Amino acid sequence: MLNKVCVLTIKVNNMVTALDFYTKVLDFEVSRHYGENIVSLVHNEVPIVLEKGEHVNSGGTQRVLMGILSKNLDEDITRLRDRGAKILFEESKPCPPGRYNIIEDPSGNKIELVEFSNF
């Protein structure tokens, strides 16, 4: 079942400025750095991840990406494809905590499916 939100990713254009805002203004703490472009913040419920992206200030760009937990990404992608879901990647991609793929809802919102395997 794909009904458990496991991460919220916030796209930022400058990691230094974003970290300054989220830690000094909003009082979040850094949980983990995944290189220069991805930082996880401490949060008791759903993890919040800051991810540096290109063209973040461009109009129409999605800046918050919801991640849904998948226990078996390959099976879930096959099932969603059979149900007519728009799958963005033919093959799932690696990410620091495991693998992911992205689907698109009817309004064009992207939803990340994440399989944690590197923990």
pLDDT in the model for residue 87: 94
What pLDDT, in 10s, does the model give residues 19-60?
Answer: 988 899 878 999 999 989 999 999 888 888 989 876 655 566
Strand partners, 32: 40
pLDDT in the model for residue 78: 95
Indicate the number of domains in the chain. Answer: 1
Domain residues for 27?
A: 5-116
**Is 21 in a helix, a strand, or coil?**
helix
- For residue 56, the domain's CATH number is 3.10.180.10
Single out the residue of 84, 7, 14 nearest to residue 55, CA to CA.
14
pLDDT > 80? residue 107: no
CA dist list (Å): 65 to 48, 82, 86, 113: 10, 23, 16, 10
